[in-house]
Each structure stands twice: as structure tokens, then as C-alpha cells.
Amino acid sequence: MKSFQLIDKSTGGSIKNDVLSGLTVALALVPEAVAFAFVAGVSPVVGLYGAFMMGLVTAIFGGRPGMISGATGAMAVVMVHLVKEGNELGNSDSAGLHYLFITLLLVGLIQMSAGFLRMGKFVRMIPHSVMMGFVNGLAIVIFISQLGMFKSQGEWLQGTSLYTMMGLVAMTMTIMIILPLFTKKVPAALTAILVVSGVVIFGNLETETVRTFIVSNGGEGIKAGLPHFEIPSVPFSLRTLIFIGPYALILAAIGLIESLMTLNLIDELTDSHGSGNRECVAQGAGNFVNGLFGGMGGCAMIGQSIINIKSGGRGRLSGIVAALALLAFVLFGSGFIEQVPIAALVGVMFMVVIGTFAWSSFKVWNKVPKADVIVILLVTLLTVVFDLAIAVLVGVVVSSLVFAWENAKRIRARKHIDGHGVKHYEIYGPLFFGCIELFNSKFDPKNDPDEVVIDFKESRIVDQSAIECVNKLTERYLKNGKNIHLRHLSSDCVKLIKKAEKICDVNVLEDPDYFVAIDNFRQAQLQDSASVS
């Protein structure tokens, strides 16, 4: 027997693995899609349609084979306000749903534009500390969302019902841990769901099922027909655009951030590389299709993606099977799927939580800078309290400020006076807005000689603040009747200064031998004297 591994990187993709893992994911998608539909204030069928269309489009055209997309809580919490305000704006209980659909059309266009403009690469700028906070926060959010499954009719389970639920959850998790130690030919998650479902059905156990969960939340079941094409029934006007515009931008940002970060995580788990730009286009296309065919839209789902990878799904077929199986459940298999106990699905998601959480973050707390630890904790907390987009943006901003502060303290200047009486300042470190004050403190215009050289061989001028700083430094030397010269500027720095010639009057030295102007002048004088004599 081999030791238990939640993710086996050595497992290659195969048709059998993709099909079986796709079926497992489809089962796990049902309660998630239904739950998020209730969160968004729409029908469970709208959530199931959304999961089907997002899953199918992104599986075929996405940039990360094996990654699963569907209806998500991160977007649902924004949609609920959109639907509510849409109902009020249209004076109808169905108006909000149509405003949601037209918003998804705009979301799709924004996300596709981001892909075509190759903006997916910006996810690489997200620091590892932010990534760790993201997965930790998301694991906690998934865990908290599953606790709601321990309620019935809005009341917490008690007594026998609670013990039965806990026992079935524990059985599911035990099967998922033990089965891979003996064989990996069948997905542990699918096996656990089938075994626990059999125990409940044939043992006549009283416990929450998919059907009772839907009914207790005001639904009637998951059986429905095929999604149909329909243009959203809202007025196409500037007022509508002003109303849906902010929601579209927020939903597009949340969807792309969560999808691209999930893509990065799956890349790490599988030792492979996906295409962020292609995924942006696919996510946009999926949401656009949802807007035309009555789905609630969504983005990548980290929980279901990990279930898929863990079950052996590596190719696009796994996502396609998951989407088509979900549609088949809605069309033909609703009676069977509604009998699946919620406890089995909760157990699977608890295993996802264990696999998602970055337990290594506890080991590195004493080995990494305190600023990184703070960022991890901050992003984790904000992900739980607010949402992923806010958490990631704040984490990136804080990490950037820390980086700027650390580099601002590293600007140095080595000074010496050559044989011609010219004072040289050799600068080390980038010159940017954060170190302007420290940079200025290195110079002494009143007491320096008439000629001063600033050597940027080990530095560079980064931004407009640095240009303005050099401009003011030049003015200080000129007021004291002295000249200042710049040496060893990189080509891009030269361009920055030339573009700012009106505000930065400096003498840029480009002589390949790096002689200063005063040196050339004195050499010319010596040559003239020699020729005269």
C-alpha cells in the first residue's frame, strides 16, 4: 500500500479517469448549483443551467484542461443585489432575472476583451503570500458553506438526525482516505457517494437528501427541459447600461480573478501550465451564452476542480462529461439524483477543504518575512469576511507597498573626487517615488565642486517622481553655479528623460568612453597648447 496523497501528480489522464471523475463532479455540482441559485435569489433550475453551460463552454475552449467552472458563491452574493434591484426597477418579480441575463452578456464581453487584450498574464503578478491567503480563505469559505447543510427547515439538526448526518459524513471521508491506499482504478469520491447513497436507500435511514434540501429551500425539484434561447426582456437604454454597468464590472473582475487563481493552483497541483488569456475568453463566452439561454453564469470552481483532479480527471473530456451528466440529471435522472444524501456530498467537500487549505503556511511562519505572514492572514480574513476580489486586490496592494518600502531603503550612493576635481556619485538601487527623500539627502550642492557626475550604472530612473527629483536636484546645483551630469543611463531611462526635457534640463552623457564634458574640454585645451608650441 502507498501512503495517502490527496493529489497524485504522477497520475496521467485517460478516457476512463476523465469519464468517472466527470460523473463524480456532476454529482457534487448539483447541491452547489442549487444552493448558489438560492443565494442569488433565482430558481434552482437557473443555477443548474448556469453550471451546465459554464462547464461545457470552458471545458471545450478554456485554457486549463481539467478545471471545472459553474455557478459560484463569490458571484452569487453580487447577483442577489442585482436581481433584487432589478425587480424594483422593472416593477416585476421576473424583471430582476432578465436584468441578470443582460448583465451576463456585458460580463461576457468584458471578460472576452480581457483575454483578447492578453490581460491574463497579470495574474502572474500576484505574490505567493496572496495565493496562500486565497486558498486558505477559500477553504474556510467552503467549510462554512457546508455547515449550512446541517440545517433542516432553517433549524439546526439535533439528536438522531444530527448523529446520522455526522456518521454518514465520516463514512464518506473514511472511504475517500482508505480506498486510494488499495486501488486508484476508481475515483474515491464517486465510490463514497454511491456507497453512502446505498446505505441510506437500502437502510431506510432518515436523513437530508438533494430533494428534501431543494424543497426545504422553497424549490420543487431539479427536473426541467433544455435551456432555450431568449433575448432578455429589458429596455435597451442608457438607463439600463448605467444600472448594469457597475454590476457587470464587479462580476467580470470576480470571475476572472477566481478563475485565473484557480488555474494557477491547478497548474501547481498537476505540474503543468494553462493559458490565462484563453481561459479569460472561455469564461467570457460561457457567461455570454448564459445570458442568452437563461443561466446564472459563474466562473471556475476550486472545490469541484480539485475533486476532478483528485479523481484522475486531467483532460477536457472530464469537464465535458461533468457538464453533460449534469444536464442529463436535469432532463432524465432527477429522480435518482434527488435521492443522494446531502451527507455524502458534504463529506466530499470536507475532503476538498482539507486538500485546499495550505497547511504549509503554518510551517513557514518563522521562516518568511513578517510582512508575508501578515499578507497571508489579511487575505485569508478578507476572503472570509468580504469576497475574493477585495481580498486579492488588498493583498496585492499591501504586498506592493511593502516591496516599495523595502526597496526605498536600499538606495545608496558611493562618493569620490577624481584627479580633475570632479565629484562622482555612484548610485545603487532603483530611483523611484519611494526613495526620493533618501536620494536627495545623499547630495551637498553648496559644498560640492563645480562639476558633479551622477553614475547610474547600478541604478535606473523608474518613474516620473524620479525625473522630477533629478530636475529639482539640477536646479539646486545650478543655483549654486555648478553643473551636473548623468552617466550610464539605460536606453529606457534616456527615453524617460528625453520625454520630460521641458521639466528636466540635464546633460545626458552618451560618450562610449564615459568621459565627462569637462574632461573633453580640458583635453582639447591641452591639444591646442601642444600644437601652438
The dihedral over CA atoms of 182, 188, 191, 196, expressed in degrees to the nearest 10, equals 100
pLDDT band at 510 (very low <50, low <70, confident <90, very high): very low
Instruction: Give the 3-state secondary structure of residue 458.
Output: strand
321 or 465, which is more confident: 321
In this structure, whether the domain defined by 412-532 belongs to CATH 3.30.750.24 is answered with yes
CA 328 to CA 170: how far, in whole Å? 29
Element (H, E) at 487: strand 483-487
Q: Which pLDDT value is given to residue 492?
A: 66
pTM exceeds cut of 0.75 = no
Please write the tens of the pLDDT for every residue from 144-195: 878 888 887 778 888 999 999 999 999 999 998 998 888 877 778 888 888 9
Please write the tens of the pLDDT for every residue from 372-423: 889 999 999 998 887 777 888 898 899 888 888 887 777 889 998 988 888 9
pLDDT band at 501 (very low <50, low <70, confident <90, very high): low
Mean pLDDT of 122-146: 81
Residues of the chain with CATH 3.30.750.24: 412-532
CA 57 to CA 62: how far, in whole Å? 7
Q: Which residues contact 9 (CB under 8 A, 6 or more apart)?
A: 269, 270, 271
Please write the tens of the pLDDT for every residue from 327-384: 998 898 888 888 889 898 888 888 878 877 878 778 777 777 888 889 999 999 998 8
Mean pLDDT of 56-69: 94
Q: Smallest Cα–Cα separation from 27: which of 334, 240, 380?
A: 334
CA 169 to CA 192: how far, in whole Å? 10
Q: Is 218 exposed, middle or buried (0-12, 13-18, 19+ CB in 10 A)?
A: exposed
Please write the tens of the pLDDT for every residue from 223-272: 888 999 989 888 888 999 999 999 999 899 889 988 988 898 888 888 88
Direct distance between the N- and C-terminal alpha carbons of the chain, in angstroms, rounded to an integer: 97
- Locate 222 and state its grid cell: 431539479
Please write the tens of the pLDDT for every residue from 448-471: 998 888 888 888 788 888 888 887
Mean pLDDT of 6-15: 57
What's the whole-number average pLDDT of the chain? 83
Q: Which amino acid is at 15?
A: I
Instruction: Give the 3-state secondary structure of residue 472.
Output: helix
Q: Where are the alpha helices (DSSP H) in 66-153?
A: 73-90, 95-116, 128-147
Per-residue pLDDT at 123 exceeds 50: yes
Q: Which pLDDT value is given to residue 324?
A: 96
Q: Which amino acid is at 256?
A: L
Instruction: Give the 3-state secondary structure of residue 34.
Output: helix
Residue 285 near residue 108, CB atoms below 8 Å: yes
CA 170 to CA 343: how far, in whole Å? 9
CA 470 to CA 238: how far, in whole Å? 48
> Can you say how many angstroms the Cα of residue 447 is from the centroid of all Cα atoms in its chain?
53
pLDDT band at 5 (very low <50, low <70, confident <90, very high): very low
Task: DSSP letter for 341, please.
Answer: B
